[in-house]
Chains A and B, each alone.
Chain A
Amino acid sequence: MWYRFILPKTWCRRRVTGVRLGWLLAGLLLAGTRAGAAEISITVHDVSGKPLESAVVWVSGDHSPISGQLPPVSLDQRNLNFDPGILGVSTGTEIRFFNSDTVNHHVYSFSAGELLDVKLDAGEHGSITHRFDHPGVYILGCNIHDWMLAYIQVVDATLLGQTNADGVAAITMPGAVQPDARIHVWHPRLNEEISPRPVNSVVQIKLAKKLKPDPWLRQPGYN
């Protein structure tokens, strides 16, 4: 696998707006009340039954407050590619850009009205950040390396995760599940609209249609 879900290694303190501050406080409260916490597991299989990795899974309708500041998420450039290729983050999350390669990169995105234009010199180490304040799918490319591609799903939810190689994502519910809470699944290769599901401890999702073609091009001359 050439992309991986990477846990944030560093935490970056950011100024929080009033509304968001409330969410953050709620989240912290949830995290604080671990006694009532329950873990749910969501499994996604494609139409042929193979596990779908890196799918972003989140729970909507969860009004639990955000417990403290949202942790920043890292997006690395490694082996002339984005790492990871798919990221799911909550609205307002700050992305820290790294460049582990020995070459320069020029990351850009014209998605959803956000104009991202970041030059990353070789060895850049998290000093450049970009905060995604609006939900939506952001497609990132490199102006120098046409094959480089990354998807960032920004959602108005704090309970989110991504499936592992077994197609399983685990989300820890902070407390009692709200009645209108629903589980959402997204992946850039999805060829169908997956209806939100009620929250259960175990949710099995099987895709009805074949996946779209893999959008990641192979870098010419590599692999």
Chain B
Amino acid sequence: MQRLGPRIFVFVLGLLLATLGVTFFLVDRTTYNQALDQIHSELQAAHDIFVHQLESRHSAQRQLTAVVANDFGLKDEIARAVAGSDSLRVTLDNFRTRSGARWAIATDNDGHLLATTDDAYNEGAAQLASYTQGNDRDDLMVYRIGESLYQVSFTPVYAPRPQVIGWLALGFALDDALLDEFEAETNTSVSLVETSMMSHRVVASSTSKVMRDQIALHDLTAGFGIVELGADQEVLFTAKLEFDGTVDAAIVMQRSLSSSMTSFSTLRMQLLGIISMTLVLAAFVAWWLARGVSRPLELMASYVRRLGDGDFNASPPSGEKGEVGTLALAFTEMQAGLSDRDEKLRHLAFHDPLTGLANRNLLIQTLDQWLERGTRCAVIALDLDHFSDINNTLGHDVGDQVLAIVGKRLLGGLREGDLLARLGGSQFAALIEAESTGDALAASNRLSDRLADPIHIDQIALEVIATMGIAMNPEHGDTSHTLVQHAEIASHNATVAERESVQFYDVHRDHHTRQRLALMSEIRGAITRDEMQMFVQPKLDLSVNKIVAVECLVRWLHPVHGFVPPAEFINLAEQTGHIRQLTAWMLKTGIRWATRWLDLGLHIRCAINISTVDLLDSKFPALVRMLLEEHHLPPELLQLEVTESAAMTDPSRSLKHLAELKALGIGLSIDDYGTGHSSMAQLKDMPVGELKIDQAFTRRLATSEKDQIIVLNTIGLAHSMQLRVVAEGVEDEAALLLLRQFRCDEVQGYHLARPMPVGRFEEWATTSPYPLFRTDKQSDAA
């Protein structure tokens, strides 16, 4: 029922059905009641006619009786009669026969019975005789004699009037024949019922014997109603028979309900017929209406569905007018728009909007096709060296122009059938057909030649240098993704290798192999499985010539792969977030050792490197404090080393966390100073107390005058800002001497000691030319 068509159909039909139902019900009830009222009034009329007939009969009978009573012979007989006179009886019988009465009786003037026509009535007649006096009235008189009811007319016998010499009574039977006659005239059954409190007796009736018994059993209170009489439903109208007599009687007018309701039934059937026809007609109309609404919508829906599936050749349903037609028109317009948009999207999906070159998707797709065809080919990944400098200094507009020009130039360096794609940033890739590495190298040379001339933009001549990596099929990979990826890796290696601007992919120089990545995922487990080891490298305080601190370093001894250098997993640990666990482990271990050493009377600071991730973690300062408190380590024995780049990633948050760490009382130092882009000015606001000069400046200190100048000035500047200076990478005595002269505060390096397992530090100390720094008390004791 969710569909519109059936719902309209059902709604229209339902509404009509409900309306017609109510109408039918009301009309049916009304006409039924009217029909019943009609029957009621007809029965009432029949009753009135019947009563009137009785009265008319009575009137006629009275006149008849009066005529009889006037007969001289009768008068003579009565005048001369004695009780039981046979002569009078015969005379009466004669008149009874003439008048059509059932019986006749005669009394004298005092009401004594003189004669009756039938001895069977003697008893009743004697009783009747007592009623005679004064009963010559017009009122209907009904008496019961024996089992029957009679209309009786009394009349005095005058000789002459007003002399009354006796009374004559004629009895006319109210019998079935009379009622049958009435039924024949009025089409209404009539019954005369003698009523009493206890039971009823049908005296005469025009109905069947069975019906009589039913009527006698029925409660005959006056009124109108439908009653069950036997198997039939009958309409009865019952009225008390008003007369001046000796019995209580009721007249029951009766018709069968079904025959009485014939006209009503006909009307009802007609009405039902009309309603049925209306419903059938309405069903057609509703179906037509529903179809008129739903059919165009269904056509539209299938049309739109085809549009949605990308079939822009679908044609809208035609010939529709009105709203659906408008909708179809709108969809047609939308179809055109969609088609246009789809074309643009399709182009965007496979092209780089800036240069108009293919993008990585198209490169991969094309490469897949080539590989499928078995074409020997090479992917040359190309990256512009220091392109970010152009963006940073001249703006992205210029950068974009450079990329566009580079794209055009590179395109010029390719042959027909080759594909050039921009992979993103300053990275490009060329797909070329190459039978050998020589072909590939030749192509790369053509590309680099194209970039030899500087690019002129707004009177600025820009030199662009590209590093290129080549991945050959099948030597360096047999899928499109690996080929492109390997070419990019080779390109990256080429950047690092500076003067070697073109590199072929070398699996041994790829730090991103799958095996290594899998290894990285084991870092977390490595910590819990105790595969990590802490190494320490001592730091010498030049002012007291004692070992005052150690830098804590992590080493990973993999059970399968053996030693894993930190450079390989620290970066990835930072990316995967495992660096937090690693740092925490380092903190715990370092603090535990420092505590141990303090217990031994050794005053050795532990310096631990923390990463950008740690520094930006708002929970990190709390962790440090918790660990310090847990081991009761004086905070000054903990030093955290932060690289410049880490501190500069999010300066405001870094500064906030550094301030919190500083507030704990621990030492903070800047690691690898001189390698980043920061300056002393940027460091001045940082709450650090120490600066570590990168080994790039100290490794060749003894021979490089420039390095000496840098180190000397850095130390001077740091001191002027109340910063202590630590020099890393001290590899010879000459460097150590120079640093003493330069008043450097602390040194560390191979000359002093290589990093060692922390457990061997104490043993090393015994052989070291420099003593360990002890707490005052124990120092004194020593």
- Asked if residues A215 and B159 are in contact (CB atoms below 8 Å), the reply is no
Which interface residue of B80, B160, B162 has the most chain A CB atoms within 10 A?
Answer: B160
Across the A-B interface, give the 10 residue pairs with the lowest CB-CB distance, nearest first: A141-B160, A110-B79, A143-B72, A139-B163, A110-B159, A215-B162, A149-B160, A110-B165, A146-B70, A141-B159
Q: What's the Cα separation between A7 and B586 when bound, in Å?
A: 183
Number of cross-chain contacts by CB at 8 Å:
39
In the complex where A110-B79, A115-B79 touch, is A215 in contact with B72 (Cβ < 8 A)? no
CB distance from B755 to the nearest CB of A (A): 168
What 1/0 flags go to B136-169 for Cβ under 8 Å of A?
0000000000000000000000111111010000
- Chain A residues in 8 Å Cβ range of B163: 110-111, 139, 141
B160 with A148: CB separation less than 8 A: yes
B72:A108 contact, CB within 8 angstroms: yes
Instruction: Give A141 to B72 CA distance when docked, in angstroms.
Output: 10
Report if A142 contacts B (CB, 8 A). Answer: yes
Asked whether B161 lies within 8 Å of A149 as measured between CB atoms, the reply is yes
Report A100-120 CB contacts with B as 1/0, cut-off 8 Å. Answer: 000000101111000101000
20 CB-based A-B contacts, threshold 8 Å: A106-B72, A108-B72, A108-B76, A108-B159, A109-B159, A110-B75, A110-B76, A110-B79, A110-B159, A110-B163, A111-B159, A111-B163, A139-B159, A141-B160, A141-B161, A141-B163, A142-B160, A146-B70, A148-B160, A217-B161
User: Smallest CB-CB separation from A113: which chain B residue?
Assistant: B79
- Docked complex: A136-179 residues within 8 A CB-CB of B: 139-143, 146-149
Q: Which residues of B contact A139 (CB under 8 A)?
A: 159-160, 163
Residues of A within 8 A of B75 (CB): 108, 110
B70 CB, min distance to chain A CBs, angstroms: 6
Complex Cα distance, B158 from A181, in Å, reads 36
Are B160 and A146 in contact (CB-based, < 8 A)?
yes
A215 and B347 alpha carbons, distance in the complex (Å): 140
Chain B min CB distance to A207 (Å): 19
B159 partner residues in chain A, CB cutoff 8 A: 108-111, 139, 141
Taking each of A106, A115, A142, A143, which has the highest tally of chain B beta carbons within 10 Å of its own beta carbon?
Answer: A143
How many angstroms between the C-alpha atoms of A148 and B158 in the bound complex? Answer: 12
A108: B residues at CB distance < 8 A: 72, 75-76, 159
Bits for A199-219, please: 1 = Cβ < 8 Å to B, else 0. Answer: 000000000000000010100
Query: B70 — which chain A residues lie within 8 A by C-beta?
Result: 146
Q: Complex formed: what's the CA distance from A149 to B165 in Å?
A: 15
Residue of A nearest to B75 (CB): A110
Chain B positions within 8 Å of A142 at CB level: 160
Q: Tell me the count of chain A residues lying within 8 A, CB to CB, of chain B.
A: 18
A211, chain B: closest CB distance, angstroms: 13
Q: Which residue of B lies closest to A142 (CB)?
A: B160
**A86 CB to closest chain B CB, in angstroms?**
14
Chain B contacts with A in 158-184, Cβ cutoff 8 A:
158-163, 165
Which residue in chain B gives the minimum CB-CB distance to A150?
Answer: B160
Q: Which residue of A lies closest to B72 (CB)?
A: A143
A109, A141, A148, A215 interface centre (most CB from chain B within 10 Å): A141
A188 closest partner in B (C-beta): B162
List of A residues within 8 angstroms of B80 by Cβ:
115
- Chain A residues in 8 Å Cβ range of B161: 141, 146-147, 149, 215, 217
One digit per residue, 1 when the CB lies within 8 angstroms of any chain A CB and 0 when it does not, for chain B 77-95 equals: 0011000000000000000
CA distance A147 to B72 in the complex (A): 14
A217 to B160, CA, bound (A): 11
Closest to B73 in A: A143
Q: How far is the CA of A108 from the CA of B75 in the complex (A)?
A: 10
A118 to B160, CA, bound (A): 14
CA distance A146 to B161 in the complex (A): 8
Across-interface contacts of A109 in B (CB, < 8 A): 159
Question: What residue in chain B is nearest A111 (Cβ atoms)?
Answer: B163
Which residues of B are found within 8 Å of A115, using beta-carbon distances?
79-80
Provide the residues of chain B in CB contact with A147, threshold 8 Å: 161
Task: State A108–B72 Cα separation when bound (angstroms).
Answer: 9
Closest approach, in angstroms, between the C-beta of B312 and any C-beta of chain A? Answer: 120
Q: How far is the CB of B143 from chain A (nearest CB, A)?
A: 28
CA distance A147 to B165 in the complex (A): 16
A67 to B330, CA, bound (A): 152
Q: Complex formed: what's the CA distance from A110 to B81 in Å?
A: 12
**What 0/1 pattern do residues 125 to 142 of A give for CB contact below 8 A with B?**
000000000000001111
Closest to A140 in B: B160
A150 to chain B, nearest CB (A): 9
Q: How far is the CB of A70 from chain B (nearest CB, A)?
A: 26
- Closest B residue by C-beta to A109: B159
**Which residues from B are CB-within-8-Å of A148?**
160
Which residues of B in the span 544-597 have a Cβ within 8 Å of any Cβ on A?
Answer: none
- Residues of A near B162 (CB, < 8 A) are 215
Give every chain B residue within 8 A of A143 (Cβ-Cβ).
72
Given contacts A110-B165, A141-B158, A141-B161, 9 further A-B contacts (CB under 8 A): A108-B72, A110-B75, A110-B159, A139-B159, A141-B159, A143-B72, A146-B158, A146-B160, A148-B160
Among A110, A139, A148, the most chain B Cβ lie within 10 Å of the Cβ of A110
> For residues 51 through 73 of chain A, which have their beta carbon under 8 Å from a beta carbon of chain B?
none
In the assembled complex, the Cα of A81 lies from the Cα of B502 at a distance in Å of 175
**A148 CB to nearest B CB, Å:** 7
Q: In the assembled complex, how far is the CB of residue B389 from the closest CB belonging to chain A, in whole angstroms? A: 157
Q: How far is the CA of A140 from the CA of B158 in the complex (A)?
A: 11
Taken together as a complex, chains A and B put the C-alpha atoms of A146 and B66 apart, in Å, by: 12
Q: Which residue of B lies closest to A141 (CB)?
A: B160
In the docked arrangement, what's the CA distance between A117 and B158, Å?
15
Q: A144's closest neighbor in chain B, by CB?
A: B72
* Cα A48 to Cα B8 with chains together (Å): 100
